[in-house]
Amino acid sequence: MDYKNIQELIKTVSDTQITCFEIETDDIRIRMEKKEAQVVVERVPENVRHIETVTHEPLIKETIEMQQVYTKNKENAVSENAVKTIPDENIFIVKSPIVGTMYTSPSAESKNFVKVGSIVKVGDTLCILEAMKLMNEIESEVNGEVLEVLVSNEDMVEYGQPLFKIIKK
């Protein structure tokens, strides 16, 4: 198929009510899609494998409720007013180094590694991230107190997603 044939094909599709057109020959594949007055042409050589792209919604929740974290409850959590007065440079955010599933305890029957108000030291295990059946312990990089747990047990996490907020001590 030469350039002139392709031009004629584009004009023909443009002049009709067809919204999608695809043709495949021995050496090329042409797909045209029309949205309103616009024609989109995709030309893919036959010997190139088509890779489908998938768009995922971010797994970080837009609104994280001011959960029981900020209420004075049985976990001795910090009050909401106190949280607002902590300078940003004193808060360390632990981010996920991999994509995987987060576990807050070593087993379903065990207690969580940490909870809001827990005092942590460098090297303390905060959670486990499972990726491809491998369990990766995520350790604290700072000494401090857990201010907020941003992800629930068994939630999927993305690379770079914030997991914990720790007040540096």
Q: Which two tokens stand for residue 66?
A: 């001011």
pLDDT on residue 61: 40
For 137-159, write each residue's pLDDT tens digit: 999 999 999 999 999 999 999 99
Surface-to-core class of residue 97, CB atoms within 10 Å of its CB (0-12 exposed, 13-18 middle, 19+ buried): middle
- 167 band by pLDDT with thresholds 50, 70 and 90: very high
For 38-71, write each residue's pLDDT tens digit: 445 555 555 555 455 555 444 444 334 444 444 4
Neighbour tally for 85: CB within 10 Å = 7
Of 168, 162, 161, nearest in space to 56 by CA: 161
* Domains of the chain, earliest start first: 3-45 (no CATH), 68-168 (2.40.50.100)
The better pLDDT of the pair 73, 11 is held by: 11
Whole-angstrom CA distances from 1 to 4, 6, 29, 142, 166 are 8, 7, 10, 64, 63
Strands 100-103 and 144-149, bridge-based pairing:
unpaired
pLDDT on residue 4: 82
